[in-house]
Amino acid sequence: MINTVDFITPPVDDPYWFGLISAANSISDIYSMGGKPLTALNVVMFPAKHLDMGMLKDILRGGHDKVVEAGACLVGGHTVDDEEPKYGLCVSGVIHPDRIITNAGGKPGDALILTKPIGSGVLFNAVRSRKLPFQDLERDTLPSLAALNGPAMETALNFDLHAATDVTGFGIAGHSLEMAVGSGKKVVLYYDRLPFYNDALRMYQKGETTGSNQANRKLVAEKMTIKKFLASQAEELLYDPQTSGGLLLAVPDSQTDELIAALLAADVQTAVQIGHIEAGPTGIMVI
């Protein structure tokens, strides 16, 4: 049995989308370990005296719909009156004790495959600052964020999966570093292969950023080398925090093409090799 608790503040103002994305984000912690979600408890903080309770109803409806999609049961929850709405789930799942997937099993020669694009953090802030219309975010980005990581992990478990993690608040650089340190190896990222959400780079070029970029940069500063010339705005995408991001999967290089084909056949919208693992000083190299 495995248990996780995760909740977020609203990445978007639409309450139903907020519920969908928050639930997918919470359930992803179970999937990233190779587990199957069984039950979920709502964790809600809501300013009931200041916001319409209909908004809370739509948030919970979104969460419920995503839990049902995952094949789990929503069995209750807890609410707290707070100044800012926050929502997530406490999720319980099952996994065979001999098949727990961690971020620490990467081996030299492994390929790294990513299953969702990067750049949602700056897009959320761009909508708030009115640099990007919400309709663009809803069309191009939100469906991907609300997608469950279950099909991707279920597919990957049919291969020699050595390590995995979901890419969330620390960005692609931070979570790659976690895998590098956990595995005691070097992670090499191919910048030109990284998939980005539409408009993410353009928003950095327009001066938008997030509150996490600087902290994420500091997190990896002593362990990351950038060999490729990158404009400052392009580099920021390495630190962009994700909400309900994709899985980073480490498999033998010989299985790369077959796994990517299987992921796409399972309706995983993004499946791209973005790097590899090699022996050497623990850290990240961006080429």
Looking at residue 47, which CATH number applies to its domain? 3.30.1330.10
Tokens of 124: 């959320």
Same domain for 159 and 261, yes or no, is yes
Q: Which domain holds residue 20?
A: 2-94
Count of structural domains, the chain? 2
Same domain for 253 and 178, yes or no, is yes
Task: Indicate whether 189 belongs to any domain.
Answer: yes
* pTM (two decimals): 0.94
What confidence score (pLDDT) does residue 87 get? 93
The pLDDT profile of the chain, 287 residues, written as one tens digit per residue, is 776 767 676 677 899 999 999 999 999 999 999 999 999 999 999 998 888 899 999 999 999 999 999 999 999 999 999 888 899 999 999 999 999 999 999 999 999 999 999 999 999 999 999 999 999 999 999 999 999 999 999 999 999 999 999 999 999 999 999 999 999 999 999 999 999 999 999 999 999 999 999 999 999 999 999 999 999 999 999 999 999 999 999 999 999 999 999 999 999 999 999 999 999 899 999 99
Same domain for 17 and 59, yes or no, is yes
Amino acid found at 216: N
29 touches 91 (CB < 8 A):
yes
Cα→Cα distances 156→113, 128, 162, 261, Å: 10, 36, 10, 11
70 touches 89 (CB < 8 A):
no
Angle (CA) 226 250 166, round 5°: 80
